[in-house]
Chains A and B, each alone.
Chain A
Amino acid sequence: MEEFDGEPTVTWIPGLNSQKKQMCFDWGPGEMLVCETSFNKKGKSEMVAGCPFIHIIRKDIDVYSKILRKLFNESHGIFVGLQRIEEELTGKSRKAQLVRVSKNYRSVIRACMEEMHQFAVADKDSASGRQFSSQVSILSAMELIWNLCEILFIEVAPAGPLLLYLLDWVRLHVCEVDTLSADVLGSENPSKHESFWNLPGNTQTLTELELRWQHWHEECERHLQDGTFASDPRLESLCKVLLGDDAALLEQKELLSNWYHFLVARLLYSQPTVKPMDLHLYAQSSLDLFLGGESSPEPLDNILMAAFEFDIHQVIKECSIALSNWWFVAHLTDLLDHCKLLQSHNLYFGSNMREFLLLEYASGLFAHHSLWQLGVDYCDHCPELGRVSLELHIERIPLTTEQKALKVLRVCEQRQMTEQVRSICKILAMKAVRNNRLGSALSWSIRAKDAAFATLVSDRFLRDYCERGCFSDLDLIDNLGPAMMLSDRLTFLGKYREFHRLYGEKRFVDAASLLLSLMTSQIAPRSFWMTLLTDALPLLEQKQVIFSAEQTYELLRCLEDLTSGRPLCAEPDAQQLQEDDIETTKVEMLRLALARNLARSIIKEGSLEGS
């Protein structure tokens, strides 16, 4: 069932070198853990010290390169811009825009390459210098491939100009071509060459061009036949080159650095108006002739060949295999998809190749402490599977600072990812409670809309109040607003604080009503009733009558309710007895105060106003 074009990469883990032991492993959020073990579980300890090391391994360490980070950041901007290109644009203007995007990507690669090259040169003799050099060659290869794809797939150069584009392509990437063209141009028939290269563009059709070239070609051939250059073997060989003679070209192999250079040279001299669809024939034969059976094609060669064959899927597949980072295939595939060049390739997972690659790339970004934000955008632009991928990744981002947590939350809230919001807020609330930051814990539970946790935190607040006699985080509690409704306990906390405020403002009647309502509405937990009734005492002892008769009856009822429900201890110890004593005294005091208030209120209400 498994197929692969080559052997899978083997990664060697150092130090695990016993023949008898096995490797145990598991996944972390962004890495893998590996260690030595013995799976065959025996009950007894083996009494042989195993290797105590656990190795943490990770892929995609490119994410940590400072220079590549620029590549990731800038290409992200280009990617997002590309997604927004107007769908309505068709034909030439759309194509022009897509070509521009492609060129932008390439310039980003080149900028990165140049920077890395400077590091490589500065650090020539060290291991890191060598690493930079190798990165530079990888980036160079990437740009080479991208450029070719731009010419063949995006620019879609038609026959004729195709060769010009390919010439530019080779010239850009291979310095030696200049030497060859200098040789050619310095030959005996410059005028013939100049007239040939006088391509004005629109005033000549392809057929006219082809005719002129044929005429010139025949003339050269005649000169060769007539032995015009017989006296000078060099000139003769040059003439053969101009006629596109393969053998003659190959003799100049040192000047041609690779087979695609050879290909373009051949085309230049034998098929300058080569049609795109015929390109692959010349490409294959160029590769074969150039290698001459001495060496086999390298991955880069296979990729370029696939491009010459216009097999986009093969290009992508080969690039995925050859390159260590998803960056290249993800962005190139996305661009080609915008050019409407990819047939939807249905995976088992039901998504298409573009999303598959973009999400692979985004996965790597999430492992990074700040690049994760770029990952979010890539997920956003994958309509089928992006959201789920984002949900899985965003929860694993370590919330190291409050600022980072807020950023992550904003991302989730903007996308209505309510489950993730809830989960993250709960985690933060929990952390806050553990660090005794109750105000913070309360805000997080409100944001999480977590009633249970809000209750828990409110209880802690109330407990704190009972112990210390004052509230912490007053600002927060005073400004709860509608959030107060989240849980009964929270509502009670808010209202209880309001009672204290009213009392402080000497608005005794309002305070009294509120206090009573807290009990009668059952919002106050029974465990707190004694405290509330005790809070009522100063209101009962005021010179003026604050509680009305009816209110006093209610208070009495609450008190009776509370005292009648008291469980009897089986065997009260000394402390219990002492507590009971205090309780009894309190209750008695309350009863007395309430009775007195009742009397006063009845008298007050019975008398005429003002008397």
Chain B
Amino acid sequence: MGEMVSVINTVDTSHEDMIHDAQMDYYGTRLATCSSDRSVKVFDVRNGGQVLVADLRGHEGPVWQVAWAHPMFGNILASCSYDRKVIIWKEENGTWEKAHEHSGHDSSVNSVCWAPHDYGLILACGSSDGAISLLTYTGLGQWEVKKINNAHTIGCNAVSWAPAVIPGSLIDQPSGQKPNYIKKFASGGCDNLIKLWKEEEDGQWKEEQKLEAHSDWVRDVAWAPSIGLPASTIASCSQDGRVFIWTCDDASGNTWSPKLLHKFNDVVWHVSWSITANILAVSGGDNKVTLWKESVDGQWVCISDVNKGQGSVSTSVTEGQQNEQ
């Protein structure tokens, strides 16, 4: 809708090989990046600056994703790699170090995602060996592992947690007593499926739903942040070039219906919701990132194309666009 978008900072990461992921921390003050050069780097990007804070080595293969934990746990970062490992890094007394290493997978770990902070410190990891592992911090440097084997045949490409929903009333729980959250997350895999997982009362994870609509490998799933309505929303994208928006209206969370956002003419690799869930960013294989928003009349509308440029920019180009509109 005619939003002016500008580059406000460019960070030179000095990665020696392809960058695979870049994540801002909770407040937008720190940037974590990871690369095929096997390193994870952390930068302080306040006030338009860029100061390298840490260069973390430990992986033995390309690092695919990084994820920041909620700041209430301190400065904690998780990374996953082709080397089948998941490493959790922590900043202690101003220095970053490896806090934990998880090597329970037989193949590349493709995706890591921290659960809502209300559940504590829990990390979901999806791997090409088809399994999903859940690491829970139990205190004193200890992590408990739960594994879901054969979550997706051939491989799991993405994991994404549902936002925390406090069941029952919102009345203050007496201190020390944890409310009973219903923990759920979504995963996408090479079996063309999106699966929804729920933690049972005995602590085991069970497959709750299968969402079928894609005709090729699901590359990414993203559960939208909660905006206070009973409806839940998930975005998924696939090798088949399609992006679906799945919604579930009833409180029991049983009927999911897909809406096709768009069919691209190439693989769609990545989908991501903005913090307040009203803009969905979609990457296309055609070197563009498109931004989608639900408009006033309920239709999903493409509001912006972020494109790779040929040579230098930029302000003149965006201005030009403005006048055309």
Chain A residues close to B by CB (< 8 Å): 1-4, 6, 8-17, 19, 21-39, 41, 43, 45-50, 52-62, 134, 299, 317, 320-325, 345-350, 353, 356, 360, 363, 385, 387-389, 391-393, 395-399, 418-419, 423, 426-427, 430, 434, 449-452, 486-487
Q: Would you mind naming 30 contact pairs between A and B with Cβ atoms under 8 Å apart?
A: A1-B262, A2-B292, A2-B300, A8-B305, A10-B304, A10-B306, A10-B321, A11-B306, A11-B318, A13-B313, A23-B287, A29-B24, A35-B22, A35-B33, A43-B108, A45-B18, A50-B15, A50-B17, A52-B14, A52-B19, A54-B33, A56-B9, A60-B3, A60-B4, A350-B229, A360-B278, A388-B227, A396-B26, A427-B71, A434-B74
Contact A28 B24 (CB under 8 A): yes
Contact of B289 among A17, A34, A322, A434 (CB under 8 A): A34
Q: Is B57 an interface residue (CB 8 A)?
A: no
A9-B325, A299-B325 given; A31·B309 CB < 8 A = no
Contact B227 A385 (CB under 8 A): yes
Contact B18 A46 (CB under 8 A): yes
Q: Which residues of B contact A30 (CB under 8 A)?
A: 28, 275
Contact of A46 among B3, B36, B225, B278 (CB under 8 A): B36
Contact of A13 among B4, B18, B259, B308 (CB under 8 A): B308
Q: Is B77 an interface residue (CB 8 A)?
A: no
Contact A353 B296 (CB under 8 A): yes
Q: For the complex formed, measure the closest distance between the CB of B156 and the CB atoms of chain A, giving whole angstroms.
A: 13
Q: For the complex formed, measure the closest distance between the CB of A429 and the CB atoms of chain B, giving whole angstroms.
A: 8
Q: Which residues of B contact A434 (CB under 8 A)?
A: 74, 92-93
Q: For the complex formed, measure the closest distance between the CB of A236 and the CB atoms of chain B, giving whole angstroms.
A: 42
Q: Which residues of A contact B23 (CB under 8 A)?
A: 26, 33
- Per-position binary interface string of chain B over residues 299-323, scored 1 when its CB falls under 8 Å from any chain A CB and 0 otherwise: 1111111111111111001110110
A13-B7, A17-B308, A57-B8 given; A349·B24 CB < 8 A = no
Q: Which residues of A contact B275 (CB under 8 A)?
A: 27, 29-30, 392-393, 396
Q: For the complex formed, measure the closest distance between the CB of A45 and the CB atoms of chain B, giving whole angstroms.
A: 5
Contact of B305 among A3, A10, A346, A452 (CB under 8 A): A10
Q: For the complex formed, measure the closest distance between the CB of B310 and the CB atoms of chain A, giving whole angstroms.
A: 5
User: Complex: how many Å from CA A17 to CA B311?
Assistant: 7
CB-nearest residue of chain A to B13: A52
Q: Is B62 an interface residue (CB 8 A)?
A: yes
Given A1-B260, A1-B261, A60-B3, 17 more A-B residue pairs with CB atoms under 8 Å apart are: A4-B301, A9-B322, A11-B305, A13-B307, A13-B308, A13-B309, A17-B308, A29-B26, A32-B281, A43-B108, A46-B17, A320-B2, A348-B294, A353-B296, A396-B27, A396-B275, A434-B93
Contact A17 B283 (CB under 8 A): no
A8-B303, A56-B9 given; A25·B270 CB < 8 A = yes
Ranked nearest first, the 10 interchain pairs of A and B with the lowest CB-CB distance are A28-B24, A388-B228, A12-B309, A398-B27, A39-B269, A426-B72, A16-B308, A50-B18, A14-B313, A324-B4
- Which residues of chain B in 91-110 are interfacial with respect to chain A, using CB atoms and an 8 Å cutoff? 92-93, 108, 110
User: Complex: how many Å from CA A11 to CA B4?
Assistant: 9
Q: For the complex formed, measure the closest distance between the CB of B313 and the CB atoms of chain A, giving whole angstroms.
A: 4
Q: Which residues of B contact A350 (CB under 8 A)?
A: 229
Contact A423 B117 (CB under 8 A): yes
CB-nearest residue of chain B to A323: B2
A56-B10, A434-B93 given; A43·B82 CB < 8 A = yes
Q: Is B148 an interface residue (CB 8 A)?
A: no
Q: Which residues of B contact A57 (CB under 8 A)?
A: 5-8, 306
A1-B260, A31-B8 given; A347·B272 CB < 8 A = no
Contact B5 A11 (CB under 8 A): yes
User: Complex: how many Å from CA A608 to CA B150?
Assistant: 83
Contact B305 A398 (CB under 8 A): no
Q: For the complex formed, measure the closest distance between the CB of A491 and the CB atoms of chain B, giving whole angstroms.
A: 12
Contact A58 B18 (CB under 8 A): no
- Which residues of chain B in 213-230 are interfacial with respect to chain A, using CB atoms and an 8 Å cutoff? 219, 225-229
Q: Which residues of A contact B269 (CB under 8 A)?
A: 22, 39
Contact A363 B272 (CB under 8 A): no
Contact B262 A16 (CB under 8 A): no
Q: Which residues of A contact B226 (CB under 8 A)?
A: 388
Contact B313 A12 (CB under 8 A): yes
Contact A322 B22 (CB under 8 A): no
Q: Is B167 an interface residue (CB 8 A)?
A: no
Q: For the complex formed, measure the closest distance between the CB of B176 and the CB atoms of chain A, giving whole angstroms.
A: 4
User: Complex: how many Å from CA A401 to CA B6?
Assistant: 28
Q: Which residues of A contact B33 (CB under 8 A)?
A: 35, 54
Q: For the complex formed, measure the closest distance between the CB of B69 and the CB atoms of chain A, giving whole angstroms.
A: 11
Contact B4 A317 (CB under 8 A): no
Specify which of A6, A23, A58 lies most central, judged by the most chain B CB atoms within 10 Å of its CB: A23
Q: Which residues of B contact A35 (CB under 8 A)?
A: 19, 22, 33
Q: Is B248 an interface residue (CB 8 A)?
A: no
CB-nearest residue of chain B to A486: B175
Q: Is B202 an interface residue (CB 8 A)?
A: no
Contact A389 B21 (CB under 8 A): no
Contact A321 B1 (CB under 8 A): yes
CB-nearest residue of chain A to B11: A54
Q: Is B288 an interface residue (CB 8 A)?
A: yes
Q: For the complex formed, measure the closest distance between the CB of A425 and the CB atoms of chain B, giving whole angstroms.
A: 9
Contact B11 A56 (CB under 8 A): yes
CB-nearest residue of chain A to B262: A2
Q: Which residues of A contact B172 (CB under 8 A)?
A: 418, 449
Q: For the complex formed, measure the closest distance between the CB of A345 and the CB atoms of chain B, giving whole angstroms.
A: 6
Q: For the complex formed, measure the closest distance between the CB of A302 and the CB atoms of chain B, giving whole angstroms.
A: 11
User: Complex: how many Å from CA A19 to CA B309?
Assistant: 10
User: Complex: how many Å from CA A95 to CA B114?
Assistant: 53
- Per-position binary interface string of chain B over residues 270-286, scored 1 when its CB falls under 8 Å from any chain A CB and 0 otherwise: 10111111100101010
User: Complex: how many Å from CA A414 to CA B166?
Assistant: 21
Q: Which residues of A contact B308 (CB under 8 A)?
A: 12-13, 16-17, 21, 23, 36
User: Complex: how many Å from CA A30 to CA B11?
Assistant: 17
Contact of A9 among B17, B261, B318 (CB under 8 A): B318
Contact B296 A39 (CB under 8 A): no
CB-nearest residue of chain B to A422: B72
Q: For the complex formed, measure the closest distance between the CB of A66 and the CB atoms of chain B, giving whole angstroms.
A: 16
User: Complex: how many Å from CA A46 to CA B62?
Assistant: 10
CB-nearest residue of chain A to B309: A12
Q: Which residues of B contact A397 (CB under 8 A)?
A: 27
Q: Is B16 an interface residue (CB 8 A)?
A: yes
User: Complex: how many Å from CA A505 to CA B55?
Assistant: 56
Q: Which residues of A contact B15 (CB under 8 A)?
A: 50, 52
A321-B2, A324-B2, A392-B225 given; A23·B306 CB < 8 A = yes
Q: Which residues of A contact B8 (CB under 8 A)?
A: 31, 56-58, 61
Q: Is B64 an interface residue (CB 8 A)?
A: yes
Contact of B176 among A43, A347, A452 (CB under 8 A): A452
Contact A54 B301 (CB under 8 A): no
Q: Which residues of B contact A39 (CB under 8 A)?
A: 219, 267, 269-270, 283, 285
Q: For the complex formed, measure the closest distance between the CB of B55 and the CB atoms of chain A, giving whole angstroms.
A: 13
Q: Which residues of A contact B299 (CB under 8 A)?
A: 1-3
Contact B302 A2 (CB under 8 A): yes
- Which residues of chain B in 243-261 are interfacial with respect to chain A, using CB atoms and an 8 Å cutoff? 259-261
CB-nearest residue of chain B to A38: B18
CB-nearest residue of chain A to B110: A41
Contact A17 B310 (CB under 8 A): yes
CB-nearest residue of chain B to A46: B18
Q: For the complex formed, measure the closest distance between the CB of B180 and the CB atoms of chain A, giving whole angstroms.
A: 15
Specify which of B4, B6, B12, B270 lies most central, judged by the most chain A CB atoms within 10 Å of its CB: B4
Specify which of A11, A41, A47 lies most central, judged by the most chain B CB atoms within 10 Å of its CB: A11
Contact A14 B7 (CB under 8 A): yes
Q: For the complex formed, measure the closest distance between the CB of B34 and the CB atoms of chain A, giving whole angstroms.
A: 11
Q: For the complex formed, measure the closest distance between the CB of B23 and the CB atoms of chain A, giving whole angstroms.
A: 6
Contact A322 B64 (CB under 8 A): no
User: Complex: how many Å from CA A115 to CA B117?
Assistant: 47
User: Complex: how many Å from CA A419 to CA B166?
Assistant: 10
Q: Which residues of A contact B273 (CB under 8 A)?
A: 27
Q: Is B142 an interface residue (CB 8 A)?
A: no
Q: Is B56 an interface residue (CB 8 A)?
A: no
Contact B314 A14 (CB under 8 A): yes
